[in-house]
Amino acid sequence: MTDTRMLGATFPGDSTVRLDWHDVPHPGPGQLVIRTAASGICGSDLRNSYRERLDRGERSYTGCIGGHEFAGTVVEAAADVHAVSVGDPVLVYHVAGCGQCTVCRGGYLIHCESSRRRAYGNQRDGGHAPFVLVDALTCVRAPEGFDGVDAALLGCGFGTAYEGLGRIGVDGRDDVLVVGLGPLGLAVGMIARALGARTVRGVELSAERRLWAGSLALFDEVGVPDEDGPVATVSVDTSGSPTGRRFALRSLRTWGRCAFLGEGGEVTFDVSEELLHKEVTLSGSWVTSVPNMAACARLLAERGMHPGATVQHRIPLTDADRAYRVAAEQNTGKVCLVFDEP
Ligand SMILES: [Zn+2]
Ligand SMILES: [Zn+2]
C-alpha cells in the first residue's frame, strides 16, 4: 500500500459534510485495514452527526471520519489476524466492542458496556474514506456473489431488518406488511422475500419512495396506508411514526406478530383491542449481532439477492455533501457513497 494520505468526510454539525486530508491508517494487533468499496448513509448518521452535533455522552459523535455501514477488501492485516486475509472482501459490523465481555462473545457488540466500545463513524473513523482501520472482531468474509455495495449494507440496515424479522419469525405461511419503504423497509421486504414469505406488501406515504420500491420486484403490492383491515400475519414498522406503528398493529390478523424497527418518537394505542384481544406478539429490535449479520448475507447470497439493488443513488466520496443532502430529504431509496476500484 503506497498511499499515505487520503480524503475523509467529517460532519461540522450544521447539515454539511467536510472533506479533509487524513493519514492512511495501519493495523495494530487484532486489526486490519480495508480498502473501502462502499459506505452507506444511514438514518442515524443524519440524526446523530450531520444535522447537529450534540456532543453529549460517551456515545455521541466525536468528529471522526463518518460512516458506519461500509465494506471493502483487506489490504493489510496484523500478524495475529487469522479469520480473514489480505485480498478478502469483508463485511464489517458497525460497532467495535471489547471482545471479551459476555455480549461481545455472543456477537452483540452493540451492547458492550466496556470503555473500549466504539462505533465506526461515531467514536472511531468510519467508512467515508478510501481506507478504514477495523478490528478483526467486527469482520466477516463477504459471501460469493456479493459486490462491495451489497456487502456494505449488511453492516447496519440489512442486519437490523434480518434481526427484526428473526425476532418474530417469518416463513412461507406468512403475509408480510412493511410500513415505511425507506432504506430499512426495502431491506425488510427483500429479507422477507428471501425467507419465503407467502406475500410481501408495503405501504409508504412518499410517492417517490413508492415508485422506487415498486420498481424492485420485491413487493406483491406497494400502496398507501388505507382501511383494508387485518391483512397481515406479520407486520414491521420502519417509519418510527405513531401513525405508522398503529397502522402496523391494526393491519394484523389474530395471532399476528409485529416488530417495531423505526427509531425515535412515541406511540399510544388501545392495548385491549390491538394487542390483547388479537393475541398479538409485539417485539422491539435494535440492530443485530456479528453472526446474524453473516447469516443474513449468506441467506441473500444463496438466493442470488443483492442488497445493493435498493440503492437509488450511488455517489462518489468527493460529492459526499450532495449525497447527504439527497439522503436528508428522506424521499428516496438508499443513498450510498461508492469508491473507485484500485
Ligand atoms: Zn445505521
Ligand atoms: Zn464487550
Q: What is the CATH number of the domain that holds 19?
A: 3.90.180.10
Residue 201 CA, chain-centre distance (Å), reads 21
Same domain, 79 and 121: yes
Is residue 231 classed as helix, strand or coil in its secondary structure? coil
Tell me which H or E stretch contains 302: helix 290-302
Give the cell for residue 324. 447527504
Closest-lying ligand to the alpha carbon of 135?
2
Same domain, 165 and 136: no
Same domain, 240 and 177: yes
pLDDT tens for each residue of 104-137: 999 999 999 999 999 999 999 999 999 999 999 9
Same domain, 25 and 173: no
- Ligand 2: centre distance to CA 96 (Å): 8
Q: Structure pTM?
A: 0.96
Q: Domain range spanning residue 168?
A: 160-284
Closest-lying ligand to the alpha carbon of 104?
2
Same domain, 312 and 241: no
- Ligand 2: centre distance to CA 113 (Å): 6
- Ligand 1: centre distance to CA 229 (Å): 32
pLDDT band at 60 (very low <50, low <70, confident <90, very high): confident
Same domain, 62 and 169: no
Q: Output DSSP code: residue 211.
A: H
Contact 272, 295 (CB under 8 A): no
Report the number of distinct structural domains present in the chain.
2
Ramachandran angles phi, psi of 73, nearest 5°: -115, 140
Beta strands at 69-77 and 89-92: parallel, antiparallel or unpaired: antiparallel
Q: What is the CATH number of the domain that holds 259?
A: 3.40.50.720
Same domain, 266 and 278: yes
Same domain, 148 and 220: no
Determine the Cα–Cα distance for residues 150 and 306; give it in Å rounded to an integer. 6
pLDDT tens for each residue of 177-215: 999 999 999 999 999 999 999 999 999 999 999 999 999
